[in-house]
Chain A
Amino acid sequence: MRPLHAGRAVTRDEAGALRALEIGLSRRELLRTGFGGMLLLAFGAVLPSGCQTYSPIARPLKFLSRKEFAVVTRAAVRILGLPDDRGDEIGGFIDNLLADLPPRTQRQARLMLRVVEHGTHLFDLKPKRFTRLSPAEQDTYLQGWMESSLGARRIVFRALKTLAALGYYAQPSSWEAVGYDGPWLGRVDVASDFTHEEPVSLATVRARLAPR
């Protein structure tokens, strides 16, 4: 028996799931790198990915599914302590960001969000998934990840927090409240005095390296 997080020991079912998880996690591909390194991705891989029960989104999404959008927006507003009505804006921003990332990072992000959505069953023995919990329950659940004795859960929290920070604090609308005066570009008159070389065609390169 080992604690999943403070104050509660692991049941036999949980321990089994955790062992299975650790086996998956020992694989290099999952242990390796990525969006904050999501150690729990193996768990996510066997979880349902359907969106049937999630509300339609008003805006078209480039990358996230409705389910993933719901998870990331709920997590972001709870972690950053924001009003619920900022969620769609943050989710849309994160959707745009993730759409441009490499496929492996995208896959890890998807799995992470799935783990967070369904981890309620494994870690908190809740009958409801994350997005169905009350705000107070969501706070308790996410703080369980933040304070967990299991390093893998802490890093998932770190990754979620980084995503949330990107989704909110990268937006100019958030800057005034934190006193950030924004980029200089376009408003402060400073120019570069250096001329960068223009790249050349392959034919020009071949000519340079031709035998002398």
Chain B
Amino acid sequence: MILDTGTVDGDVALESDVCVVGSGAGGAVVARELAEAGRSVVMVEDGPYVTSRDFVQREEVMYPRIYREGGTIATAEYAVLVTQGRLVGGSTVPSFCLCIRPPRAILAYWARAFDLPGLAFEALAPHLRRVEKQIGARRITPEQVNPNGGKLILGSEELGYRGYLPFHNRRGCVDSGYCALGCTYDRKGDMLTTFVPAASKAGAVIVPDCEIRTIATRDGHAVGVDGLFNRTRTGQRYSFKVRSKVVVLAAGAINSPRIWRASQLPDPGDEVGRNLHLQPHVVVSALYPETITGWRGIPQGYVVDEFLRLDEHSAGRGYLLIPTSGFPVTAASVLPGYGAQHRELMTLYPRLGAIGIFLHDHTRGRLEFSDDAPPTVSYRLGTMDSEQLVDALVRASDISFAAGAEKVFLPYNDVVTIGHRGAYQAIHERGVRPNDPLFLSFQPQGTLRMGGDPRHAVVDGVGEAYTVRNLFVADASVFPTSVAVPAQLAVMALASRTAQHIVASAAQYFA
């Protein structure tokens, strides 16, 4: 069941076997699997409970409502804008639904370099298969690729670049294109329509509108959480407390370490908040002679992985190229230029296609904590990543021209136009600097790293904290490096693995 916080008119204290903080790809999976195993579960979410009835397909309404800080969390030097969902179901609700398995090579590297044998592909595969089935993951068909995706296919095939139609978790998609604003038609297999209702049906209690501030501990064990309601009947911020035998932190790679630090939990290796990967996302726009109408249909229907170079002996390098799109406000914000030049670009909106560069970053940022505010995200793109990004700008431009583009617009603040194929000197000359081009990030990860060596990791191979017993982390915080692909499936599979460990070790945790 889901609590109507509009009925809360005083401090609230609950007891359960398990308290899960966060209701996204990690938290909802853990809540469901533990509830189905017969455990009493309370899952707490900072954001509101909003559903398809609230998804009104208007940018100015939905961004403030379902994204953390309206989607404008910025890194300290404002090099990257970090966008995270903040609602029941987390970032899975406004996602573009890509279901890409963590690459075998990355998992092999994690297993070997971080002493995590349980993360080898063969070990994780059963969890991947289970969550894929539960969210209805299936391959996008050629007929479902929208014209913008079609341009990426055309250009990359023309140049001989490897790519594929990815899996996604939509069923009966009606091609409205409003995925990033929440699906009005409930055609996504996001957490809001799959794991959250399943968890509720199995007995879990979901508490929205509640900010967890600290984890309570006793004798080195987690014993619950403390927080404040964001919404109540009277408007007053009443306190909220859960006392439980197990706590699962799944609030995302920025908020989970914040809660850890605010709780003053041990961090002997000074690892909490370090190792931040943002998988920066940059958009290259191209003008085609015909109408593209990129905002309609499935926004991300194809993936070019030619330039993602992975091997099991290193973290690899490179990037994915994926079609992307935006509605007018987003397009106007992202498109370069000033004044009449910008306005002219906007009049070309129906003929614009866009390729998103999805960087597998080696840069390791960090969070800086303070007592009274969310953490500062400190992240400055390293030299190797900058070089990769310049290469990606060239490749994306080249693919666009191969697909018939008349011009390519680079994502700098001012208009930098490439008028014909091969004229890429401007990219090399301009290079990369903070906030120019504009970087976005949808999937921060790595800030409570998993590893076999407690000197260099925060959680062990099943996600349990080394320094606090009965405390688990089940979100992208645990990734040892960037996972190289969209993180949704990897988070879900690791969370499932953590949940199954807790179930299998019930005598240890619930005695």
A interface residue numbers (CB < 8 A to B):
28-29, 31-37, 39, 78-82, 93, 97, 100-102, 105, 139, 142-143, 146-147, 151-152, 154-155, 157-159, 161-162, 164-166, 168-170, 174-175, 177-180, 183-185, 188, 190-194, 196-206, 208-209
Q: Across the interface, which residues of B come within 8 angstroms of A203, CB to CB? A: 7
A198-B2, A205-B14 known, 10 other contacts, Cβ within 8 Å: A33-B74, A78-B338, A139-B338, A143-B414, A170-B58, A179-B349, A190-B174, A196-B197, A200-B3, A201-B3
Q: Say yes or no: is B8 at the interface (Cβ < 8 Å to chain A).
A: yes
User: Measured between alpha carbons, how far is A174 from B146 in the docked complex, in Å?
Assistant: 25
Docked-complex contact A184 and B414, CB < 8 angstroms: no
Q: Across the interface, which residues of A come within 8 angstroms of B96, CB to CB? A: none
Q: Across the interface, which residues of A come within 8 angstroms of B172, CB to CB? A: 193
User: Measured between alpha carbons, how far is A122 from B156 in the docked complex, in Å?
Assistant: 49
Instruction: Identify the stretch in B340-348, B354-362, B399-407, B476-484 within 8 Å (CB) of chain A at 4 or more residues.
Output: B340-348
Cβ contacts B318-329/A at 8 Å (1 or 0 each): 000000000111
Docked-complex contact B343 and A82, CB < 8 angstroms: yes
Q: Say yes or no: is B73 at the interface (Cβ < 8 Å to chain A).
A: yes
Docked-complex contact B434 and A36, CB < 8 angstroms: no
User: Measured between alpha carbons, how far is A170 from B326 in the docked complex, in Å?
Assistant: 12
Docked-complex contact A192 and B185, CB < 8 angstroms: yes
User: Measured between alpha carbons, how far is A162 from B83 in the docked complex, in Å?
Assistant: 15
Docked-complex contact A169 and B328, CB < 8 angstroms: yes
Q: Say yes or no: is B121 at the interface (Cβ < 8 Å to chain A).
A: no
User: Measured between alpha carbons, how far is A80 from B77 in the docked complex, in Å?
Assistant: 25
Docked-complex contact A28 and B60, CB < 8 angstroms: no
Q: Across the interface, which residues of B come within 8 angstroms of A177, CB to CB? A: 346-347
Docked-complex contact B193 and A32, CB < 8 angstroms: no
User: Measured between alpha carbons, how far is A155 from B77 in the docked complex, in Å?
Assistant: 9
Q: Across the interface, which residues of A come within 8 angstroms of B368, CB to CB? A: 28
User: Measured between alpha carbons, how far is A169 from B342 in the docked complex, in Å?
Assistant: 13
Supposing A183-B58, A184-B178, A192-B52 touch, asked if A81 and B1 sit within 8 A by C-beta, the answer is no
User: Measured between alpha carbons, how far is A158 from B186 in the docked complex, in Å?
Assistant: 33
Q: Which residue of A lies closest to B81 (CB)?
A: A36
Supposing A35-B72, A142-B338 touch, asked if A205 and B347 sit within 8 A by C-beta, the answer is no
Q: Across the interface, which residues of B come within 8 angstroms of A78, CB to CB? A: 338-339
Q: Say yes or no: is B467 at the interface (Cβ < 8 Å to chain A).
A: no
User: Measured between alpha carbons, how far is A164 from B332 in the docked complex, in Å?
Assistant: 9
Q: Which residue of B lies closest to A192 (CB)?
A: B186
Q: Across the interface, which residues of B come within 8 angstroms of A35, CB to CB? A: 70, 72
Within 75-133 of B, Cβ neighbours of A (below 8 Å) are at: 75-79, 81
User: Measured between alpha carbons, how far is A175 from B78 in the docked complex, in Å?
Assistant: 30
Docked-complex contact A151 and B435, CB < 8 angstroms: yes
Docked-complex contact A158 and B435, CB < 8 angstroms: yes
Q: Say yes or no: is B456 at the interface (Cβ < 8 Å to chain A).
A: no
Docked-complex contact B78 and A37, CB < 8 angstroms: yes
Q: Say yes or no: is B57 at the interface (Cβ < 8 Å to chain A).
A: yes
User: Measured between alpha carbons, how far is A33 from B373 in the docked complex, in Å?
Assistant: 10
Interface centre among A159, A177, A206, A208 (most CB of B within 10 A): A208
7 A-B pairs closest in CB distance: A37-B74, A183-B57, A199-B4, A194-B186, A81-B343, A165-B332, A170-B60
Q: Across the interface, which residues of B come within 8 angstroms of A31, CB to CB? A: 76, 376
Q: Across the interface, which residues of A come within 8 angstroms of B203, CB to CB? A: 208
Within 414-437 of B, Cβ neighbours of A (below 8 Å) are at: 414, 433-436
User: Measured between alpha carbons, how far is A185 from B54 in the docked complex, in Å?
Assistant: 11
Docked-complex contact A184 and B176, CB < 8 angstroms: yes
Docked-complex contact B413 and A157, CB < 8 angstroms: yes
User: Measured between alpha carbons, how far is A82 from B350 in the docked complex, in Å?
Assistant: 20
Docked-complex contact A162 and B333, CB < 8 angstroms: yes
User: Measured between alpha carbons, how far is A24 from B174 in the docked complex, in Å?
Assistant: 50
Docked-complex contact B49 and A199, CB < 8 angstroms: yes
Docked-complex contact A166 and B329, CB < 8 angstroms: yes
Supposing A32-B374, A169-B328 touch, asked if A199 and B74 sit within 8 A by C-beta, the answer is no
Q: Across the interface, which residues of A come within 8 angstroms of B207, CB to CB? A: 205
Q: Say yes or no: is B59 at the interface (Cβ < 8 Å to chain A).
A: yes
How far in angstroms is the closest Cβ of chain A from B43? 12
Of the candidates B2, B200, B373, which one forms a contact with A32 in the assembled complex, judged by CB atoms under 8 Å apart?
B373
Of the candidates A37, A82, A170, A197, which one forms a contact with B59 in the assembled complex, judged by CB atoms under 8 Å apart?
A170
Supposing A79-B342, A174-B328 touch, asked if A197 and B200 sit within 8 A by C-beta, the answer is yes
Q: Across the interface, which residues of A come within 8 angstroms of B78, CB to CB? A: 36-37, 39, 151-152, 154-155, 158
Docked-complex contact A169 and B329, CB < 8 angstroms: yes
Q: Which residue of B lies closest to A146 (CB)?
A: B413
Supposing A183-B57, A184-B178 touch, asked if A28 and B373 sit within 8 A by C-beta, the answer is yes
Docked-complex contact A196 and B51, CB < 8 angstroms: yes
Of the candidates A37, A151, A154, which one forms a contact with B72 in the assembled complex, judged by CB atoms under 8 Å apart?
A37
Supposing A29-B373, A169-B328, A183-B56 touch, asked if A81 and B184 sit within 8 A by C-beta, the answer is no
Interface centre among B176, B329, B375 (most CB of A within 10 A): B329
Q: Across the interface, which residues of A come within 8 angstroms of B373, CB to CB? A: 28-29, 32
Docked-complex contact B53 and A196, CB < 8 angstroms: yes
User: Measured between alpha carbons, how far is A157 from B338 in the docked complex, in Å?
Assistant: 10
How far in angstroms is the closest Cβ of chain B from A109? 11
User: Measured between alpha carbons, how far is A197 from B198 in the docked complex, in Å?
Assistant: 11
Q: Across the interface, which residues of A come within 8 angstroms of B341, CB to CB? A: 81
